[in-house]
Structure 1
């Protein structure tokens, strides 16, 4: 994203790299250091963003979401044992829009003619969305203890070009022209001092990640491959300290620089499918005041407390005893060990035909309007899917997690639910209220929409 990224002062860790913006919550005492959990997590997320950007330079958003989900399953517990790693990522989508990925107490705000909220705390596991560029700005915040979101401040001249900074949040401005910045070379600055005072003066090194001249953060990554290389495009005869041209004036009918205050509360459906014909566009629906409490209760009562019999891999991850590979990290599992009671991890990802993903950490009800269904009131997470064919019921089918199996159940829908097993060409129509176990790679058709079950961590060997 070639936009001005303004830093909101705070204590969390903000990274801008490969055009993406990453914000990780810092929960330890004192300011973040190189060894802080938030900083270690930020480095890991930055690495996957760089890798995704190299593989999908036209828009890495979908790949970033996929890799970040697997990173959560493999690395997050090792970095922060027993505590959630709360973070958000804004990156470019291959549709030309904005890709949003949130986990835990992170909130994205899209400010245009209306204000849209995407809250990581509302989701059973993660929020993975693609939206159109907002008219004014996209903000990324770490929630405070009460879940409040700050007001969007007046646009300033700060611009985080690349690197790491301490922040409570970041604002990506889409209104007006970019703020242009420059930075003199240390030798050029020292030469100017000598010319004006006749004294030999040295330029002290910066004492923090921010350069006070440019409000630009320097990269702090330990990996030398992540250190960006900057080259000058000016001819040798032109001094590097020459200022860039003044920004153009905004047109008379452009939105005011001081946006109205954003409301501090609001809800949204984190799993609402696209409502426009363009692939990947996904505007937020009207707020549902009961959604957050219902999803929180489901996540706590189901995803975090379901205990099953299983194995543990060498990294102590719980795993399906029928599989030779760990369900979390994909590494081989010693199947000669005795069975033990373990907390069940997510059993896979549902990938919708437009790229939206849903982590299977709890039972869910699927349909075009499942929020008010009996299943949702009973605690199932509602997964709303848009369907223009008219063939999808309000509460069409349910995904039930039974021990280590993912099953799908048709709820007596008018047009039925169909399943295609991996390697087969024909679709099987399910009998109403009769569960069918899904194997990884199986596809489910609801109306004219298709979902595919994928493993969280595929085996690393072949």
Structure 2
């Protein structure tokens, strides 16, 4: 999204990477530095967005949301032990609109013919929405106890990198006053553009010294240039102090450990001893403290005792260990047919207008799904979590709820008020909309 992005001054951090806008809350005491958790998280999320954009350049929004959710489950604890990271992301959607992803006390504002607000604090875990591009502006604000308001449009713009901020506004109305300058990698040498043949002549070609190419002093760091320029070339608008020997834009230290330590797909990874505290903090923040009997994998993640692989990270689970009481993690992800996702972390009620239903008053989370076909009821179905199972219950809807289990060709209509256990890969039809249940964890050893 090549739009003007204006920074709203504040004490948090905003990042712009590959056209997307990332806002991360700074909750530590004292001023923000390059080693603050918010800055490290912003770099890590920027790296994630850049990688996803390479895979889906025409509209990475859906994939950004899915990868950000998995990042929250697996990587966030390494950056901020025991404290949830609150952030929001605005990115381009494949539909041509804008994708909004929020976690924690962050609010998104979409200003068009009417103003829409999406609040991360209202969700059980995350907010993941795709909307049409607003006629006026889209913005992210860190919640500070007052309703966010759009400022008057100025002339400043964040093209790439980090800056201290309380929010960021992406203007859609009119042309941006400062056009985005295409960045070029600051290389000092350039080899022949002709591909070398797979022979001994290849090494000889590489030994030739080409003429040096002058470097643009206004160069913006990109994926191929991950260090900040030094001295007079440093962008004065970049708000975080830079050490030319250590600051990297897109490679945040999300991994703890040096060479030789087990990581990645190693079946004996380094344990994660602080995970239980993080789960308790997250559950407390979202009022979702649910304890069940389960196993723990080598990284100390809670897992379904019936599964051979971890529910959280996909690593093998020792089936000989005794069961213990653990805090239940999210059991899956519902992916709507337009790419929006819902984390299955608590009991919920689904429909086209479930907010004022008796189920919501009883404590269930409302999941509102738009359906113009007239086939979806206001309160259509309920999702209930029973130990490690996800069950679906038709709420006596007018047109019924249909499920297609994985591997089946035909749809099965549910009996009203009778629970049906969902398996990963199952599809759900509510009116004219279809959802698919996907696991949160990656494939084994993935």
Shorter chain as normaliser: what TM range?
A: 0.7 to 0.9
CA distance in 2, matches of 1:350, 1:340: 28
Contact between 1:102 and 1:120, CA under 8 Å: does it hold in 2? yes
Q: CA deviation at 1:26?
A: 0.8
The alignment's C-alpha RMSD in Å is: 3.0
3-state SS of 2:85 partner:
coil
- Note closer, same or farther for the CA distance 1:89–1:219 as it changes in structure 2 (3 Å cut): farther
CA distance in 2, matches of 1:172, 1:356: 21
Aligned residue number for residue 173 of structure 1? 171
3-state SS of 2:75 partner:
helix
2:413 equivalent among 429, 432, 447: 429
Aligned residue number for residue 61 of structure 2? 61
1:307 equivalent among 269, 278, 291: 291
Contact between 1:125 and 1:359, CA under 8 Å: does it hold in 2? yes
Aligned residue number for residue 397 of structure 2? 413
CA distance in 1, matches of 2:30, 2:232: 20
Aligned residue number for residue 439 of structure 1? 423
Count residues with an aligned counterpart. Answer: 373
- Note closer, same or farther for the CA distance 1:140–1:440 as it changes in structure 2 (3 Å cut): same
- Note closer, same or farther for the CA distance 1:376–1:394 as it changes in structure 2 (3 Å cut): same
Q: CA deviation at 1:211?
A: 1.8
3-state SS of 2:231 partner:
coil
Aligned residue number for residue 211 of structure 1? 236
CA distance in 2, matches of 1:378, 1:104: 23
Q: CA deviation at 1:334?
A: 2.1
CA distance in 2, matches of 1:44, 1:225: 7
CA distance in 1, matches of 2:176, 2:53: 22
Q: CA deviation at 1:188?
A: 10
Question: Deviations for 1:415-453, whole angstroms, at most 9, x for unmatched residues?
Answer: 221111101112112121111111100111122221111
Aligned residue number for residue 99 of structure 1? 99
- Note closer, same or farther for the CA distance 1:187–1:48 as it changes in structure 2 (3 Å cut): closer
**Structure 2 residue 85 is the aligned partner of structure 1 residue 85:** yes
Question: Deviations for 1:17-38, whole angstroms, at most 9, x for unmatched residues?
Answer: 1111111111112222232211
Contact between 2:108 and 2:140, CA under 8 Å: does it hold in 1? yes
CA distance in 2, matches of 1:166, 1:310: 43
CA distance in 1, matches of 2:285, 2:48: 32
CA distance in 1, matches of 2:9, 2:33: 17
- Note closer, same or farther for the CA distance 1:163–1:320 as it changes in structure 2 (3 Å cut): same
- Note closer, same or farther for the CA distance 1:174–1:302 as it changes in structure 2 (3 Å cut): closer
Contact between 1:162 and 1:219, CA under 8 Å: does it hold in 2? no
Higher mean displacement: 77-86 or 418-427: 77-86
**Structure 2 residue 127 is the aligned partner of structure 1 residue 143:** no
**Structure 2 residue 162 is the aligned partner of structure 1 residue 164:** yes
CA distance in 2, matches of 1:24, 1:225: 15
CA distance in 1, matches of 2:36, 2:17: 19
Contact between 1:164 and 1:217, CA under 8 Å: does it hold in 2? no
CA distance in 2, matches of 1:204, 1:438: 56
Aligned residue number for residue 401 of structure 1? 385
Contact between 2:34 and 2:241, CA under 8 Å: does it hold in 1? no
3-state SS of 1:157 partner:
coil
- Note closer, same or farther for the CA distance 1:86–1:111 as it changes in structure 2 (3 Å cut): same
Q: CA deviation at 1:181?
A: 6.9
| TM-score computed with the length of structure 1 as normaliser | 0.74
CA distance in 2, matches of 1:371, 1:386: 13
Q: CA deviation at 1:179?
A: 2.2
1:361 equivalent among 330, 345, 348: 345
Q: Which runs of 5+ in 1 are unaligned?
A: 190-202, 228-298
CA distance in 2, matches of 1:419, 1:437: 10
CA distance in 1, matches of 2:39, 2:299: 22
CA distance in 1, matches of 2:387, 2:216: 67
Q: CA deviation at 1:388?
A: 2.7
